[in-house]
Amino acid sequence: IWQGQNGLFMIDSGSPGDVKRILEYVEQIGFQASDLVAIFITHADIDHAGSVAALQAYSGARVHAGAETAELLTQGKSPDHMHRVVQFIVDRFMGYKPVEPEFIQIVADGEPLDELADFQVLATPGHTLDHYSICSDVHGILFAGDAINTRGGRLKNTPKRISADYEAACLSTMRLLKLHPAVFACGHGQPLENHDANDIMAFYRQLEQQV
């Protein structure tokens, strides 16, 4: 959750059932549900979009998402990017509450966000074909979704086995590394700051060899 000038801005919504925990946290930091003005969904996987409909209903927040992600949000479906057996289970048994289309605003690469003018939308396909990150040069922070993960204090690319297009994933990660944010806030793993420039360069060169 990011505090903007006009209220709170949330990046992804967690899994179904996370609403109570999220709203309790909002109260702990001195706000209420109505202070949540926007929710940015990086991609439509259930662990990133599973609570967005409920949070939108509680808060009245606008939902920002890419065009394909928006379509999936209105159906309560995760995108197709996993092994077919796993994908079948997800599609058959792991839906989530859909979002009404009128509450969704479509985002595109390079656009600023209405509620957060200091942040820019970045297309980062690969993990899923429709995946977006947001970054602020002013604040030095990148919200990468699943375009990048952190493990053991290091940046990692999204695993090939759960990537819709692994080459695109590598190119997206390389694009984000070139931004040199002070903080990498990823969908999985702890935020990474005070990172080693040599580690970043080594990671970039490793990705170059895979595309």
Query: Can you tell me the distance from the alpha carbon of 40 to that of 192, in angstroms, rounded to the nearest whole number?
Result: 20
Range name among 76-80, 82-86, 106-110, 200-204 with the lowest pLDDT average? 82-86
User: Cα(8)–Cα(4) distance, rounded to whole angstroms?
Assistant: 6
36-40 and 104-106 beta bridge pairing: unpaired
What confidence score (pLDDT) does residue 23 get? Answer: 96
Query: Residue 25 in contact with residue 53, Cβ under 8 Å?
Result: no
Give the pLDDT band of residue 29 (cuts 50, 70, 90).
Answer: very high
Chain segment 128-172, per-residue pLDDT in tens: 999 999 999 999 999 999 999 999 889 999 999 999 999 999 999
Beta-ladder partners of 135: 120, 142
Most distant CA atoms of the chain, gap in Å: 47
Between strands 154-157 and 148-151, the pairing is: antiparallel
pLDDT, residue 131, reads 98
What number of H helices and E strands is found in the chain? Answer: 7, 12
- The per-residue pLDDT for 194 is 81
pLDDT digits (tens, 9 = 90+) for 95-122: 999 999 999 999 999 999 988 889 999 9
Domains of the chain: 1-110 (3.60.15.10), 118-181+194-211 (no CATH)
Burial class for 119, CB neighbours closer than 10 Å (0-12, 13-18, 19+): buried
**How far is Cα 55 from Cα 8, in angstroms, rounded to an integer?**
12
Tell me which of 72 and 152 has the higher pLDDT. Answer: 72
pLDDT tens digit sequence for 37-71: 999 999 999 999 999 999 999 999 999 999 999 99
Average pLDDT of span 196-200:
89
Please answer whether residues 132 and 42 qualify as being in contact, where contact means their C-beta atoms are separated by less than 8 angstroms: yes
pLDDT exceeds 90 at position 197: no
